[in-house]
Amino acid sequence: MGRISKLIAAFFVVASLVLSGCGRNITNEKESVKISENQDKKNQEKENEDKDQPKKTDEDDSKKEEPKVPQGGIYKEPGMELSDFYDAYNGTLSRFEQPVNRFETEDFDFFDIGFDMLAATINVVNIVQFDYLQPGDNAKETGKNGKFDAVREKTGNIIAFRESMTREEDGFGDDNLKGDVVERYGFLNTETNTLVLEGTTKRDGQIISRFVNEVVILPDGTIMAQIFDKPKKPTDERREDKGNAYFLRCTEDKLEIIKASFEPDVNFKFESIVGKPDTTPETMSEGYKKVRQLIVENDVATARKY
């Protein structure tokens, strides 16, 4: 197992206990309207079909409708769509792991360059848990993800998931206190292969940390992703209070990630990449303070500072 894979495994364990959660304000306005319109259309079509079709027998009702498999062949098993999406995403990125592991530098600013790849998956890996709330392929599933109360709902091409918990005791330092409310929320559109994920931690009713991830897998397998993370304000005044952003594009033979920073505002806004297949890390990072760029091509990793 490579260094980055080990880090991902370690963070997955920690994530069940301490990672910040998801709020419900993540859905891009255009995407939200699209989802609503698609669902209304499907509901109307279903009503028309019911009027025209003869009454179904018990035998017909016993047959489970298989979900539509979108172009790209990502989804292998009904009820495991979130896991299948993560496997496709992580599997593509992992092809570039070894060149990043071999990357050597004496420049301190590149010492943790491997974390730029880890940042792309550290939150996404948690969606896998929602497929295991209940066995089978169900319209709605409820259960526990560790200490989180969790729900997974499937409506047509949209799989929505959410979980929340309130800390019952203080954690390490001031980062995790009794009474903190941790939430995660997101959705996967299996028709467009789009994942949107958000997490928040609230203290005394105020958001003190927040992250947002958008991931799109195009029909040809190209991946676009952007990750925004505003952690809790540091208690050590020597540490800079800022937001971190990572902008990624990955094809069959090339990976590019630009790391950037932004103002320390948990209510940050961003430009969605959904429906923009030609988006690049350069265009995604416009308006942000670029920090460094990682490129992996021809089995070689290179990095530069801005």
- Where along the chain do its domains lie? 3-12+69-305
pLDDT band for position 171 (50/70/90)?
Answer: confident
Q: CA-based Rg of the chain, rounded to a whole angstrom?
A: 21
SS3 39: helix
Among 116, 166, 135, 162, which Cα is nearest to 301's? 116
pLDDT of 301:
97
Of the ranges 4-13, 20-29, 295-304, which one carries the lowest mean pLDDT score? 20-29
pLDDT of 45:
52
pTM reported for the whole predicted model: 0.77
One DSSP character per residue, 149-202 reads EEEEEEETTEEEEEEEEE-SS--STTTS-TT-EEEEEEEEETTTTEEEEEEEEE
Q: What HEC string does 77-131 produce?
A: CCCCHHHHHHHHHHHHHHCCHHHHHHCCCCCHHHCCCCHHHHHCCCCHHHHHHHH
Mean pLDDT across 269-288: 97
For the chain, the average pLDDT equals: 83
Mean pLDDT across 265-273: 97
pLDDT of 203:
95
pLDDT of 101:
94
Cβ contact 161:178 at 8 Å: no
Say if residue 64 is exposed, middle or buried (CB neighbours under 10 Å; 0-12, 13-18, 19+).
exposed
| pLDDT tens column, 109-167 | 999 999 999 999 999 999 999 999 999 999 999 999 999 999 999 999 999 999 999 99
pLDDT at 169 over 50: yes
Mean pLDDT across 27-39: 43
pLDDT at 97 over 60: yes
Provide the sign of the torsion angle of the four alpha carbons 131, 135, 136, 139, taken in this order: negative
- Residue for token pair 């409506």: 155
Mean pLDDT across 217-240: 94
